[in-house]
Chain A
Amino acid sequence: MVAALIRTAGRRTRPPEDAYQQVLSAATDAFRAKAAQRRDRTWLVWAAAAGVAALAIALTQQWIPGATGPVPVATVARVIGTVESGTDGGWSPMTEPGGTLATGATLRTLAGGSAALVLEGGASLRLAAATEILLDGPRRLSLHSGTLYLDNGASPGKGHQIATPAGTVRDVGTQFELRVADSVLRLRVREGRVEIDRADQMLSGSAGEQLEIDALGGVTRSGISATDTAWQWAETIGPAPDIDGQPATVLLAWVARETGRQLRYESAAVEARAATVILHGNIHGLAPLAALEVMLATTDLEHALIGDTMEIRARTEQ
C-alpha cells in the first residue's frame, strides 16, 4: 500500500541548484566541527582506561613482590613410567601429556620414570628417573635431586636459571645435563656454554666438558662427546616433532640435534632432494635414530653415522 502511495505521489519537485549547494555547504561544516570535538573526548577516555589497566597489570605482576599469582611456565610433552606432580602436602600421579604447569609447581619422577616438558619460550626440559624439580617461574627452576637435561636451542637468546643445592646454573643457549646426587653437582655440556654461580666462585663449562663439584667445592673436569651414549636417556624421552606432511629436512635436523651430530649431505642435489621429499607418519614415541631409520626406509635416501657426523646419501639399494 505504501508503494502504491509513493507511486501515486509522483516525483518530488527539485530545489534551485544554487540554494541546494549553499545549504549543503553549511551543513557539512557544522558536522565536521562536531565530529572533531567527539574525537578529542574519545581519545581522553581511552588514555585513562589504558593507564588504569597498566597499573592493574603491574600490581598483579612481579613488579610488586608478593602480588605474583601462578603463571603457566611449562607444558608436559611426554611421560614415561611414574611421574608425579606435587599437590597440597602430597603427590598425585601424572599419566597423560598435555597438562600445564604453573609457577610453584613441583614435579618428580620415580625409578624407571622420565618426563619431558616444554618450557615457556620453547626450551625442552627432560627429567631422568628419580628427579625432583620446582618450577620457580619463567626460565627459573630448582633441581632438588636427580638429573635433568635442558635443550635451549629453540630460544638461545635467553638463558635459564636453575637453582641447585650446590649453586645456581645459567645456560647460554645450549644443551646440557645437570645432576644433583650425594651432595655432588655434575654438569655435562653438549653444546654452547653453561655458568655455575656458587657463593664464592663462578665456574663455566663449555661444549664437550663435564664438571663435578663436590660438597667441599672441589671441581673435577673431564671430557664428554656430544654423541656419547650417556645422552641416550635424554634422546629417548625427547618429544618428536610432528613430521606428517613435512619435508625430510625437518626430521633430519631434529635427529641431528637430538643425537648431537653434525648433519651433512652427500651433495647439494641430495640436500635439495631431502627438502622436497614429503614424509607421512607419526614418529611420536620413537627415539630419534629409530625414527630416522623408519622414515628413510620409505624414501630414496639413506644415512650413515660417521663419527659425530650424520651423512645423508642417495640410496644405492633397497
Chain B
Amino acid sequence: MKKLALLLACMTGAADAAVYQGLTLEEALEQFRADGLQLFYSSDLVKPWMRVERDPVATDARAQLAEILAPHGISISDGPDGSLLLVREAQRTPRPAAPGSPHRPAPTPLDVIVVSASHYLFGDEAPMSSAAFSADDLEMLPEIGEDPLRAVSRLPGVGRQDFSSRVHLRGGTDDETLVRFDDLRLYDPFHFKDFYGVFSTIDPGIISDMRVYTGGFPVTFGDRSSGVIDVAPRLPGRDFHGQAVLSLFTTGLSIDGSFNDGAGDWAMAARRSNMSVFFNLAASSFGEPDYHDLFAHVGRRINDQLAISANVLTFVDQIVAFDADQEEEASAEYRDAYYWLRMDLGTPEALGSRLLVAHTALDSERSGTTELPGIATGALQDERDFSIDSIQADGWWRPGARSVLQAGAEWRQMNANYRYTDEAVFELLFLTPGAPTTPSRSRSIHVLPSGHQAGAYVNWRFEPTTTLTTDLGLRWDRESLAEQDGSQTSPRAVLMWHPAGDTRIRMSWGRYFQSQGINELQVSDGEQSFSPAQRATHLVTSIEHDLTTTLRLRAEAYRKDYDRPLPRYENLMNTLVVLPELRPDRILIAPDSARAEGGELSLNYDAGNLSGWLSYSWSRVHDRVDGEDFARLWDQRQYVSGGLGWRNAAWEASIAATWHTGWRTTEVELATLEPFPLVTVGKRDALHLSDFASIDLRIARHFDLESAGELTAFVELNNLMKRHNECCVEYQIEDQEGPVFLDVSSQGSLPLIPSLGFTWKF
C-alpha cells in the first residue's frame, strides 16, 4: 500500500512538472495564465522568437517564471491583487534609440541567439548559448591589476604569458585578436606595449559585458584571424552613480548620470596606476611604470528612433624600465586617443543600424641602451605616430520571426610616421635562419606609409525549423598598404542544431583574413614594407549539453589552417627583455603555412551563490617552413583550469587554479669562440620548460553604507603557492672560471603577487 502511495505521489509530481522547454515564451506564459497565474505582459518584452531554454527547477510558480524569464532580460514585479508584471530587467538608461532593447548597448537582433561556436560571454546579461563565467564571476576572478582581459586566459584554448595581458587564442599570435570597445576597433590596447603589454587599457569600471570568440566568429568582425574580444561599455544610469577604486595597482573613479529627464546621459571614468608607488615601496629596481586612462561619454536620444553619442577614450603611459642586472635601460611614452561619434537608428526588432565615425591617434616614443657583456651593446630611438580616420556602418533587418539579415561596411584612412634608429654590436651570433648574420648593425629608417582599408559584409541568419539555425555570411576586405592586390573574400557558415532541448550542436567553417596593420610594421626589425594578408580557415565543431540545470558540459574540436602567415619576429631565448630588438637571438620567422588544432572540454556549474568551472584542452600549433614543422613558442599542449566562487550578502571568495604544459624553448650550444662566438641552435621550440601551475585567490567583504552606498574591501593573492614557474631562458657568456661556455638558465615567471584594495559604489 505504501509503495502504491509513493508511486501515485511520483506520478502526481510528474504530472505537475509542466514541460516548458522548447515552447515559445508566449506559449509558456499563456500556460501559466491558464493555470491561474494572473500575468501582465506585452510584446515589447516578449518576442515571438523567444523560447524557453530549459525547464525551471523551482516548484513555486513565481520562481519558475523568474527562471524562464531571466535569460531574456525580463524580471517580475508585483502587480495588484497578487498579479505579476513582466518588466524589463535593466536599470540603466538606454543609449540606443530603440525602446525594444534599452538594456543593451549597440543592439543587434543577433543577440537573441548566439549561433557561433567558441563563443563566451562575460557580463551582466545571461548567456544565451554558452558561457564560462557570469558577470559577477568575472568581477570575482583574482586577476592581477583587476584586468578584465586577463580573465580571458581562464578559457580553454587561450594561452598567455604571466607578465602579459595579451592572449594567444587557439595558437594564434597575440596580434590576431580583435579587441573592440563600443564597436570601435582598438589598436594594441595594452599599457606598456613594448614591455610585454602588462595590462590592458580596459578599465573594469567602464565595462558592461565582454564577449569572447575564440574562433568561428561572425562576418561582422573582420581583419583578424583568431578571435574577438568585444567589450560593451557600461551605460549610465538615470540617477547619479559612481564608483571609486583604490588598490595597490590602480586608483580610479567613474561617475555617470543623466540629464534632460533621462533623454541624455553622460559618463566619465579616470584611472591611474599605482605601480610606481608600489615599485618604490618595494624598492624595486625594475623601473617606474605609470599610466593614466580617461573615458568620457555624452549621449542624447533625439527621438525613439535616433540616439547620438560622443565618446573619448585616451591612455597615456610612461615607463622607465631596467632589467634585473641594470644592463638594459629603456624609457618610453605612449599616448593613444580615440574619439568617436556614434549614431543608433531604428529598432533591433525590425530595421535598425548604427554608424560610427572615429578618429584615432596613436603616438609613441621609445629610447634605450643595452650593455650586455659578451652578448650585445647598442642603443635605439623609436618614434611612431599613427592617425586613423574611420567610418563604420552596420544595419539589420528582421523580415520575419525566423530570419535576420545583416549588412555593414567600414572604411579607414590610415597614415603613419615611423622614425627609427638603432646601432647594435653583437658579440655573439646564433646560427639559425632569420637571426642577425653580421656582428654590427646600424639602422636608420624613416617611412611614411599611408593607405586605406575597406570592408563590407552581408549575413543571413535563418531558422528553417525550431531546432535548426543557420548563419551564412560573406565578407569582403581590401587594403592598400601592401604592394600586392589586397582584396579578400571570406565566406563563413555556422549551423546550430538542437537535437534535444538540453543539447546544442554547432558546426562552423569560415575564412579569416588578416592584413598587417598600419601600426604593425616592424621597422625596429628592419621592415619597411607591408606584407600581404594572411588567411586562416577555421573549422570548429562543438557540442553543449546541460547535464542538469546548473551543470553544463561543453566539448569542442577545432582546426585552424593558415595560408601565408604574416612574418613575425621573436626572441629565440628570452622573451621578457627590455629591448628585444638589440638581442642577437632575435629571429625572423616567415612560415609557408601553419596549423593549430585541438580539443577542449569544459564543465560549468552555476547554482547562484556557488559557481565553478573545470576545463581541459589539448592543442597543437606549428609553423611549416620549407616542409618542416616547428612548434610555436606558445604551443600549450595540455591545459587544465578550474575554479570555484562563492558569495553571500557580505562575503565573496574565489579561487582559480591553472596548470599547463611548460612553455616552449630551444636548445642552444656555444659552437665556437673563434674567429667569432657562434651559437648552434637546435630545432626551434622543440623543448619544453617545466610545467606551469598557479593558484590564485580573492576574498572580498562588502559593507553596506546605507545611503552612502557600499564599500568592498578585497585581498588578492596570485601564485598563492609561490611556485617557481619558468617563463623563458636567459643566456650569457660565462668566462669567470674555467673554459668559456654559454650559460643558459631559466627565468622565473611572476612570484607571489599580493594586492588589496577598496571599492566604493555610491
B262 touches A317 (CB 8 A): yes
Q: Which of A278, A282, A286, A318 contacts B87 (CB 8 A)?
A: A318
A279 touches B91 (CB 8 A): no
**Would you give the 0/1 interface string for A257-298, flagging 1 where the beta carbon is closer than 8 Å to chain B?**
000000000110110010011111110011000100011011
Chain A residues near B91: list those with CB within 8 A. Answer: 317-318
Among B255-295, those with CB < 8 Å from A are 258, 261-263
The residue on B at minimum CB distance from A316 is B262
Given A298-B45, A316-B262, A316-B301, check contact A273 B40 (CB 8 Å): no
Least distance between A294 CB and chain B CB atoms (Å): 5
Chain B residues near A314: list those with CB within 8 A. Answer: 99, 303-304
The residue on B at minimum CB distance from A283 is B40
Q: Is A204 an interface residue (CB 8 A)?
A: no
Interface size class on chain B is: 35 or more
Chain A residues near B44: list those with CB within 8 A. Answer: 277, 298-301
B39 touches A280 (CB 8 A): yes
**Would you give the 0/1 interface string for B80-100, flagging 1 where the beta carbon is closer than 8 Å to chain A?**
110101111111111000011
Chain A residues near B43: list those with CB within 8 A. Answer: 276-279
Q: Is A148 an interface residue (CB 8 A)?
A: no
Q: Is B736 an interface residue (CB 8 A)?
A: no
Q: Which of B46, B79, B87, B303 contacts A269 (CB 8 A)?
A: B303
Given A278-B42, A281-B41, check contact A298 B85 (CB 8 Å): yes
Q: Provide the bound-state CA to CA distance between A277 and B350, in Å.
A: 13
B39 touches A281 (CB 8 A): yes
A315 touches B99 (CB 8 A): yes
Chain A residues near B26: list those with CB within 8 A. Answer: 280
Interface size class on chain A is: 20 to 34
B29 touches A297 (CB 8 A): no
A315 touches B102 (CB 8 A): yes
B86 touches A298 (CB 8 A): yes
The residue on B at minimum CB distance from A268 is B303
Most buried by B among A276, A278, A290, A297: A297
B80 touches A300 (CB 8 A): no
Given A297-B85, A316-B93, A318-B88, check contact A273 B99 (CB 8 Å): yes
Q: Is A252 an interface residue (CB 8 A)?
A: no
Q: Is A248 an interface residue (CB 8 A)?
A: yes
Q: Is B38 an interface residue (CB 8 A)?
A: yes
**Would you give the 0/1 interface string for B92-125, flagging 1 where the beta carbon is closer than 8 Å to chain A?**
1110000110110000000000000000000000
**Would you give the 0/1 interface string for B232-260, flagging 1 where the beta carbon is closer than 8 Å to chain A?**
00000110000000000000000000100
Q: Provide the bound-state CA to CA distance between A95 and B235, in Å.
A: 53
B87 touches A300 (CB 8 A): no
Chain A residues near B93: list those with CB within 8 A. Answer: 316-317
Chain B residues near A279: list those with CB within 8 A. Answer: 40, 42-43
The residue on A at minimum CB distance from B100 is A300
Q: Is B77 an interface residue (CB 8 A)?
A: yes
Q: Provide the bound-state CA to CA distance between A299 and B47, in Å.
A: 12
Q: Is B529 an interface residue (CB 8 A)?
A: no
Q: Is B305 an interface residue (CB 8 A)?
A: yes
A298 touches B99 (CB 8 A): no
Among B146-182, those with CB < 8 Å from A are none
Q: Provide the bound-state CA to CA distance between A174 and B44, in Å.
A: 35
Given A269-B305, A270-B304, A316-B93, check contact A300 B39 (CB 8 Å): no
Among A25-60, those with CB < 8 Å from B are none
Given A248-B42, A298-B86, A316-B93, check contact A285 B81 (CB 8 Å): yes
Q: Which of A267, A270, A297 contacts B77 (CB 8 A)?
A: A297
Least distance between B36 CB and chain A CB atoms (Å): 12
Among B1-44, those with CB < 8 Å from A are 26, 29, 33, 38-44
* Complex A-B, nearest 4 residue pairs according to Cβ-Cβ distance, in ascending order: A316-B262, A300-B99, A281-B40, A314-B304
What are 13 A-B contacts with C-beta separation under 8 Å?
A267-B304, A270-B304, A280-B33, A281-B40, A281-B83, A285-B81, A297-B40, A300-B88, A316-B263, A317-B91, A317-B92, A317-B262, A318-B88
Which residues of A are at the interface with B, using a C-beta cutoff of 8 A? 248, 266-267, 269-270, 273, 276-282, 285-286, 290, 294-295, 297-301, 314-318
